[in-house]
Amino acid sequence: MSWNNDCRFIGNITHPPHFQRVGESRLPFLRLYLAVDDGREHTAYVRVVAYGDVALLTYPYLQAGSKIMVQARYRQRRRHDRNEKVHEFVADHIVFIDKIDWERGDAARARLQAAQEVSLAGGL
């Protein structure tokens, strides 16, 4: 990770997170919006995306209202379907702080581990 583009912030998820698998490789993708308070009177709303294991392993635990810390890289890109700029933060790490759905997340993680064990056993 490049330290000249390292961002960290704490905030609350404003809407239910969006998860899907994208592309031919079915890469896990997570998108959420975070309300970040500056401690005074201004609240910024930032778009956060995550890919791969970060998306797969954090999504089941998160919900609207969850408080998290995100370590990310800033990225600006053009939308593929419109000629519009998108400003977003690509998460490298997500830390759970408050209002986390531990029961749903732990159940999803157990299902994922069981599926991996089955695929590993089938490949022997």
| pLDDT one-digit tens code per residue, 60-116 | 999 999 999 999 999 988 877 778 898 999 999 999 999 999 999 999 989 988 887
pLDDT in the model for residue 54: 96
pTM of the model: 0.85
Query: Concatenated DSSP letters for 10-69?
Result: EEEE-S--EEEEETTTTEEEEEEEEEEE-SSS-EEEEEEEEEHHHHHHHGGG--TT-EEE
Domains and CATH numbers, the chain: 3-122 (2.40.50.140)
| pLDDT one-digit tens code per residue, 9-57 | 999 999 999 999 999 999 999 999 999 998 888 999 999 999 999 999 9
